[in-house]
A and B are shown apart, each in its own frame.
Chain A
């Protein structure tokens, strides 16, 4: 027998209050941790996927949409730009690298990106097996694509038009797998990379099939790409290049960092709201634990006085109450963690299939400790409030009132 055991028995003897305390505290812990985890995942994902991209040049439209489409591969592109125009910008002295990308097709939901060999360098992606692309209709798979679709080098598949999986509009040309990238934990893991010619070939032939005259005319003017991913030679380019493009060409230049920060501000309001709800529930749980402990102290005043006659010191009784709070806190943390994990699992099951992207990150240790600290303070506060009657207790009066 020791103080811990007595505390545990006390808790067991009032199951409803204990359950309520644990449940409410667990809920607030799950919410607070969940928000931090989502926030961290969002931030990480965005920054990670930026790679070395300082600027995205694409068709006029929403800059956020252009970034989402070209950098995070989450949205439809704003339109196409002429490859010739893009090439002109690549030659600017401000530009270190400029990677053209072009897309519009998918295979089983995974986007097919037509680009150059430079693209992989943006993400530091190296070939795990196979070789680089040498000619049109050859593809290299991101690690997750290869794993999920069980494709090997030498396999051939048919792409379908658009960015969402469909059987309605399948291109007749086979794409052949020639390589697989190593896992990078970046967006490239979920892409199918090919060269620009593959995209042009597929769509060119198609256009010939379908709308002969109109499109022929259009295509003669020059090849098109979706956007150009630019990294600067020096930060000073930030001031001049985007404005020049936006003012003097029919293209737009969007700064991914700026746009994503904007997006992050929108989503940040949501995170903050949930955080505040979490803190509110934490306060409620603090009150619940306090009431539960205080009730025990008040209702069991005689028991506590008896313990004193058994030789227990005031300090031992205070420890007993404190341990009860800690046990509740421990189970709440445990339960909160389980609630969080299952909640996020089901939440992200839907997101993953939608965006073909697993964006969940681990909770940063610092945030974890911060929430843990707040919870411990909550418990200490409830315990301090609850032990007040013990300090004030008059054993003699309590014992005399037994009848």
Chain B
């Protein structure tokens, strides 16, 4: 469950004001947010993930108004309930694939279960690079690892920021399909924010900023 209510944000440095539309997603529902560069896509995503603090408005995830709780609580909430997928950087450089996933579980204070890690890597077709270091992975493998990092802890919501913009058409489709599949498996809400119109057809529910 994700609910956004009259959310606004102001960038002091650039003197820019953002006013975001209200959104309400029921459990398991996905949403594609389309928008041109500079329209505040990443800002919205950071507000949703509790990385930025809004001027006004509410973000409610799984019944929790995330901007009303304390910082440590927010850190904990983010770790346990939110999965983030980024465009390029997906994992910690100094750790290998499996260590990254173990770290992810450790930081979200969930039990480290190597069987479920293996299972997820298999599903994402990257079992063979389980012990690879991050800088030896290809773009496609990295993006899959990014998905794994976002879902391994069974989050309530998965936010993806331009997950496909550096991928070719084929990988683009595969990655989105994987995201949708994983979201469904964990019964999480998936919100993808992008300017990439190639994936519009894969979502039934979309808005444009």
Which of chain A's residues 285-308 have a Cβ closer than 8 Å to chain B? 300, 302-303, 306-308
B130 contacts partner chain A, Cβ-Cβ < 8 Å: no
Given contacts A1-B102, A310-B107, A313-B75, contact A13 B93 (CB under 8 A): yes
Measured between beta carbons, the chain B residues less than 8 angstroms from A306 are: 89, 91-92
Assess whether A395 is in contact with B51, with CB atoms less than 8 Å apart: yes
Measured between beta carbons, the chain B residues less than 8 angstroms from A395 are: 46, 51
Given contacts A1-B106, A312-B107, contact A300 B93 (CB under 8 A): yes
Question: In whole angstroms, what is the CA distance A12 to B149 when docked?
Answer: 22
Question: In whole angstroms, what is the CA distance A14 to B94 when docked?
Answer: 9
Assess whether B79 is in contact with A311, with CB atoms less than 8 Å apart: yes
Which of A6, A10, A300, A311 has most B Cβ within 10 Å? A311
A62 contacts partner chain B, Cβ-Cβ < 8 Å: no
Given contacts A9-B94, A9-B95, A303-B92, contact A310 B86 (CB under 8 A): no
CB distance from B24 to the nearest CB of A (A): 24
Assess whether B51 is in contact with A399, with CB atoms less than 8 Å apart: yes
Question: In whole angstroms, what is the CA distance A174 to B87 when docked?
Answer: 94
Question: In whole angstroms, what is the CA distance A311 to B153 when docked?
Answer: 11
B122 contacts partner chain A, Cβ-Cβ < 8 Å: no
B104 contacts partner chain A, Cβ-Cβ < 8 Å: yes
Could you give, for residues 1-36 of chain A, a 1 whenever the CB lies within 8 Å of some chain B CB and a 0 otherwise? 110011001101110000000000000000000000
Measured between beta carbons, the chain A residues less than 8 angstroms from B82 are: 309
Measured between beta carbons, the chain A residues less than 8 angstroms from B149 are: 310
Measured between beta carbons, the chain B residues less than 8 angstroms from A342 are: none
Question: In whole angstroms, what is the CA distance A403 to B76 when docked?
Answer: 27
B72 contacts partner chain A, Cβ-Cβ < 8 Å: yes
Q: How many residues in B have their beta carbons less than 8 Å from beta carbons of A?
A: 34
Number of A-B contacts (CB under 8 A): 81
Measured between beta carbons, the chain A residues less than 8 angstroms from B103 are: 1, 6, 307, 310
Measured between beta carbons, the chain B residues less than 8 angstroms from A10 are: 94
Assess whether B86 is in contact with A303, with CB atoms less than 8 Å apart: no
Measured between beta carbons, the chain B residues less than 8 angstroms from A309 are: 49, 51, 78, 82, 84
A217 contacts partner chain B, Cβ-Cβ < 8 Å: no
B42 contacts partner chain A, Cβ-Cβ < 8 Å: yes
Looking at chain A's contact residues, is the secondary structure mostly helix, strand, loop, or mixed? helix
B194 contacts partner chain A, Cβ-Cβ < 8 Å: no
B109 contacts partner chain A, Cβ-Cβ < 8 Å: yes
Interface size class of A (residues with CB under 8 A): 20 to 34
Could you give, for residues 26-65 of chain B, a 1 whenever the CB lies within 8 Å of some chain A CB and a 0 otherwise? 0000000000000000110010010110000000000000
B189 contacts partner chain A, Cβ-Cβ < 8 Å: no
Could you give, for residues 103-122 of chain B, a 1 whenever the CB lies within 8 Å of some chain A CB and a 0 otherwise? 11111110010000000000
Given contacts A10-B94, A396-B46, contact A402 B107 (CB under 8 A): no
Assess whether B88 is in contact with A307, with CB atoms less than 8 Å apart: no
Measured between beta carbons, the chain A residues less than 8 angstroms from B164 are: none
Which of B42, B80, B94, B149 has most A Cβ within 10 Å? B94
Assess whether B93 is in contact with A402, with CB atoms less than 8 Å apart: no
Question: In whole angstroms, what is the CA distance A313 to B79 when docked?
Answer: 9
Assess whether A307 is in contact with B92, with CB atoms less than 8 Å apart: yes
Assess whether A400 is in contact with B91, with CB atoms less than 8 Å apart: no
Assess whether B86 is in contact with A6, with CB atoms less than 8 Å apart: no
Measured between beta carbons, the chain B residues less than 8 angstroms from A166 are: none
Question: In whole angstroms, what is the CA distance A357 to B91 when docked?
Answer: 61
Question: In whole angstroms, what is the CA distance A303 to B94 when docked?
Answer: 9
Assess whether B51 is in contact with A311, with CB atoms less than 8 Å apart: no
Give the residue name and chain of the B residue nearest to A400 (CB).
B42
A117 contacts partner chain B, Cβ-Cβ < 8 Å: no
A316 contacts partner chain B, Cβ-Cβ < 8 Å: yes
Could you give, for residues 382-396 of chain A, a 1 whenever the CB lies within 8 Å of some chain B CB and a 0 otherwise? 000000000000011
B139 contacts partner chain A, Cβ-Cβ < 8 Å: no
Give the residue name and chain of the A residue nearest to B159 (CB).
A309
Measured between beta carbons, the chain B residues less than 8 angstroms from A314 are: 75
Measured between beta carbons, the chain A residues less than 8 angstroms from B196 are: none
Chain A interface (Cβ within 8 Å of chain B)? 1-2, 5-6, 9-10, 12-14, 300, 302-303, 306-314, 316, 395-396, 399-400, 402-403
17 extra interchain contacts, Cβ-Cβ under 8 A, other than A309-B82, A316-B107, A403-B87?
A: A2-B106, A6-B94, A6-B95, A9-B99, A302-B89, A303-B92, A306-B91, A307-B92, A310-B104, A311-B109, A312-B79, A313-B76, A395-B46, A396-B46, A400-B42, A400-B46, A402-B88
6 tightest Cβ-Cβ pairs between the two chains A and B = A311-B79, A13-B94, A1-B102, A1-B106, A310-B107, A311-B107
